[in-house]
Each structure stands twice: as structure tokens, then as C-alpha cells.
Amino acid sequence: MKQIAWLLFFAIIAGVGYALWRVRQVWRVRAQASEARFASMLASTYPVPAAVPPALPAPDAAALSLQRLLLEAAAKAGEAGEPALSIQLYAKLLSRYPESSFSAQARAAVEAQKKKIASSRAPGPAGPG
């Protein structure tokens, strides 16, 4: 008889624990629903602000150093008489970093290198023939 009493006691404790656990779950769901309704109400009462365009992230130091290296390498290739290589390096810089602070400088240098290529391929004066 004593064993049945203890079994009944533990069953009642387990039942009360389960009931408290369920009540707590229901309370959490209701609290979340209440917060969602409150947020919805607040959102409907305040006007929607105009969309602000996202600011461009500031380039980090590693990206700036890589951009500077590409720019310097392209400039040195142009000085060394390799305008095609120089244009390729400038194109790599412009394709990877189109909004770079060096993009205007790179575009101007590409135009100068193209002129250099065009002048080197221009036919010379015709000889006797």
C-alpha cells in the first residue's frame, strides 16, 4: 500500500510539473503574439520614412593597398614600354573595384596607353616603292 501511495505522489508531482510547463509555453506564445500586434499597431500609426540609399562601405586597408599595387604595377608596365600589359592591369583594377578612388586615374591612364598603342601601330612614311 505504501508503494502505491508513493507512486501516486510522484504521478501527481509529474502532472503538476507538466501542467506548469504547458502554461508557461502558452504564456510565451501569447506574449509573442501580443508583441507582434503591438509592433504592427505602432508601424501602422507612424508614417514610413523615405528609403535612404545604403551608404557605400569604406574600403578597408587591405583593399586600398591592393588597389594601389595594381595601379603602380600598371604604371610601371606602361613606363617599361608594355602598354598592353598596362591596360590589362588597369582593366583588372577597374573590374574589381569600379568605384575605387583610383578609378578616374586608371581610366585616364588607359586612354593614354591606347593612344600609345595606336601611335606605335601607325604606318610610317612610305618609302620608294
Hey, how many other C-beta atoms are within 10 angstroms of the C-beta on 90? 27
Query: What is the domain count for the chain?
Result: 2
Which tens digits make up the pLDDT trace of 10-58? 999 999 999 999 999 999 999 999 999 998 888 888 776 666 666 666 6
* pTM reported for the whole predicted model: 0.49
Q: What is the DSSP string of the chain?
A: -HHHHHHHHHHHHHHHHHHHHHHHHHHHHHHHHHHHHHHHHHHHHSPPPPPPPPPPPPPPHHHHHHHHHHHHHHHHHHHTT-HHHHHHHHHHHHHH-TT-TTHHHHHHHHHHHHHHHHHHHS-------
> Do 37 and 71 lie in a common domain?
no
Say if 84 falls within a structural domain.
yes
Q: In the structure grid, which three cell numbers stand for residue 108, read together?
A: 585616364
CATH code, 107: 1.20.58
Say if 103 falls within a structural domain.
yes
